[in-house]
Structures are given as C-alpha cells and as structure tokens.
Amino acid sequence: MSATEALKKIYWVPLESSPEAMTKMIHRIGVDKAFAFSDVLGLDPELLAMTPQPVHALIFLFPVTDSFQATRHSEAEASSPSANVWYSKQTIGNACGSMAILHALGNAPGVKIGGELAEFFAKTKDLSPLERSKALETCEAIAEAHGASAAEGQTAAPAADAKVDLHYAAFVRVDSHLYELDGGIPGPIDLGESTDLLTDAAAVIQKRIAALNNGSPLLSVLALGPNQDN
C-alpha cells in the first residue's frame, strides 16, 4: 500500500466480541428483533446443545498469526465456492467484526431483514466482492451502527486505526456446503458438504483452535439464532 493509499484508507473502531453489542447493531440496521447473537459456551456436544437454535451462522474471534493466515489463504485459493455465497472483500481497517456480521446475514435466508441492511444487500447483490467492499465504505447507516455498537462494548474501545491482533470470520451454510468467510483472504473457503451448520462449523473451529496452539483466552464463538429475550 502506498503512502497516498494509506492516507485515504478508512478505519472503523474495532468491534468487541459482545453478543449484546452485535445484536444491537443488527437491530439498528434492519434485522428483525426475533433474531440475536449469543455466546457459544463450548464446542463439545453437550455445550453446543445449549445454543439457541436454529443457528443461522457462527462468528469466530481468534488471534492473528502469520502461519495461521497463510494456511487460510491457501485454502481460499484452492476453493471453488458456489455463486450463491454472498462474499465481500474487506477494505475498511478494523471492520472485520462488522464484515463477519454482514457475511453471516448475507448468507442467512432464514433471518428476516429489512431497513437499510435489506437495501444494502439488494444494492450489492450482483456486485463483485471488491465492489461490495467499496459500497460498504459509503454506507453511512452501517458505519453509524458499527460505531454505536463499538462504543457499547464492556471494555474501552481502541482508536480506529489501532493495530489489533484479533480477527473475525463467519461460518455459514450455502447449497449444503459449509463456508468460512473472511474479507481479508482471497475468497470463501469451501469446507465441504454440511448437514448441520452448528456441529459442522464447531468441528472446524476446534481444528482452527488446535492449529493456533497458543492457549489464547481471547478466542470466542458467537451464534446467530433466535432472540431469547424477545
């Protein structure tokens, strides 16, 4: 990236992995209040069973390492995803939380969406992944909702252009295949046939955690499903 491009780059304040803050964000931009994010308490079958269901997507927060990202880059380059996967590149700095939310909602036909978010998805339906990212850069409604939710986290939000060593990815099921979506890698990772999003994605996340192998307490998984407080 040139110095001129760096000066022009847009940054958003990093979003905390908080189901409450993320739920407020999606409600602000048009997701029906019957849907919400919740913490996944664990990845073994007994704890997965406690997750409100049906689950429409999972969001995984993890610490970034060069070797881990290199593996995911290679997997994305080797994938041939369905054209029905809604995927966007990420060109906004520190927006990976909202990018994961958009990837989750853009591939969750069972979630009722209206308002500004429905308009955004309609506008970007036939665009390329890079064109979608540019559309997000100019979407004030999503930017404002992100900013409000970033300010509502349980910890003080860092500066928008702060270097953050944590990253988000979304797991969705499209055309009976499980996908891992991250705007910072070349494209969707096709993880193969899937019969159950929650259990299949949990198995992949367990492998991702084992590959990280750093004992980080900063790992978390959120599920998009029914709102238990509605």
Q: Which residues are catalytic?
A: 96, 167
Q: CB neighbours (10 Å) of residue 60?
A: 24
Q: What separation in angstroms does the CA of 111 have from each of 33, 35, 36, 124, 181? A: 10, 7, 10, 18, 18
Cα torsion 198, 65, 142, 229: sign: positive
Q: Tell me whether the omega of the peptide bond preceding residue 54 falls within 30 degrees of 0, making it cis.
A: yes
Residues 104/172, Cβ–Cβ less than 8 Å? yes
Three-class SS state of 216: coil
Q: Specify the DSSP element, H or E, that contains 167.
A: strand 166-174
As given in the structure block, the two tokens for residue 144 are 């404002």
- Identify whether the C-beta of residue 208 lies closer than 8 Å to the C-beta of residue 71: no
Distance, in Å, from the CA atom of 15 to the CA atom of 146, rounded to the nearest integer, reads 7
Q: Three-state SS for 60?
A: strand
